[in-house]
């Protein structure tokens, strides 16, 4: 069975993947990114990372009460 990762580390990994996608694939032209597809994918990856972190906070809140 696969080893479970710490949820905050997992959330950070999602955010790092989003940053990497923007910097390597989205192609910045001036202030804006040129490839809408990769901006959407990076946004989705970042949002998933936030949800992973919020799930941890939510779980810890109910465990500690």
Domain ranges of the chain: 7-64
pLDDT in tens, 23-58: 999 998 999 999 999 999 999 999 999 999 898 887
- Given pLDDT bands bounded at 50, 70 and 90, which one contains residue 59? confident
- Given pLDDT bands bounded at 50, 70 and 90, which one contains residue 1? very low
Buried b (16+ CB within 10 A) or exposed e, 4-27: eeebeebbeebbebbeebbeeebe
pLDDT at 14: 95
- 18 or 63, which is more confident: 18
Cβ atoms 11, 18 nearer than 8 A: no
CA–CA gap between residue 36 and residue 43 (Å, rounded): 11
Q: Which has the closest alpha carbon to 42: 16, 28, 22?
A: 22
- 59 or 9, which is more confident: 9
């Amino acid at each position: 069975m696969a080893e479970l990762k710490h949820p905050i580390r997992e959330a950070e990994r999602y955010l790092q993947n989003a940053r990497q996608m923007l910097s390597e694939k989205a192609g910045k032209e001036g202030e804006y990114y040129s490839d809408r597809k990769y901006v959407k994918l990076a946004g989705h990856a970042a949002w998933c990372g936030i949800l992973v972190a919020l799930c941890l906070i939510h779980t810890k809140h109910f465990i500690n009460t």
